[in-house]
Amino acid sequence: TIEDVLRSVADCIVNVQGFRYWDGRAIIGFVDGTENPQGEEREQFAVVGKEDPHYQGGSYLFVQKYVHDMNAWRALPVSEQEKVIGRSKEMDIEMDDDTKPSNAHSALANVGDDLKVVRDNMPFHDPTSHQMGTYFICYANTFSTVEKMLTNMFVGNPVGNYDRILDFSTAETGTLFFVPSLDMLDDFSEL
């Protein structure tokens, strides 16, 4: 396992146990990853291409731990939760642009058809600390896509129109990794 390989060179400081709901919902009750690229599009958006030959075949991996204020979230009527997310909770139908609030999560986290990421989010719950939330995990062919998403969410688009989900969620961590391709790793081993 990866843990066995890393044990001699690294210490585990934080261990977050994620899980999945059978119907793909996040811990806040909405379906997660509905805008994920499918099929061949996954590679197009998650893997660095010919435009960056030094890193071709690799991927930018960004992870962020969001802790949710579940009491505040549950106190919100479902109709208000749907405005926060920009989708219906039960049927997972995106609101029309003319009715969706401009600060809805789906309005700010999705930055366009040409700028997608592959999400692999995990809900988590730690009964000892009573923390519940989402471990945001995404792969991208360039970090600028993730940077644009985060700017929209935290700064706002326009400035000040931040993602309303942040009224209920706190980002506790954020880490960017580069995942090299196997060819790149082979090249490194020859150095």
Domains, the chain, with CATH or none:
18-189 (3.30.70.1030)
The ranges of the chain with pLDDT < 70 are 191
- Predicted TM-score (pTM) of the model is 0.88
Q: Measure the CA–CA gap between 65 and 80, rounded to whole angstroms.
A: 24
Query: Any idea what DSSP says for residue 47?
Result: S
How high is the pLDDT of residue 92? 95
CB within 8 Å of 16: residues ≥ 6 apart: 65, 124, 126, 135
How high is the pLDDT of residue 14? 81
114 is catalytic: no
How high is the pLDDT of residue 188? 78
How high is the pLDDT of residue 8? 84
How high is the pLDDT of residue 149? 93
Which residues partner with 29 through β-bridges?
Answer: none
Q: Name the catalytic one among 4, 11, 23, 32.
A: 32
pLDDT digits (tens, 9 = 90+) for 119-171: 999 999 999 989 999 999 999 999 999 999 999 999 999 999 999 999 999 99
How high is the pLDDT of residue 115? 86
How high is the pLDDT of residue 89? 97
- State both tokens at 50: 């010919």
Q: Is 65 helix (H, G, I), strand (E, B) or coil?
A: strand
Q: Which residue has the tokens 């139908």?
A: 93
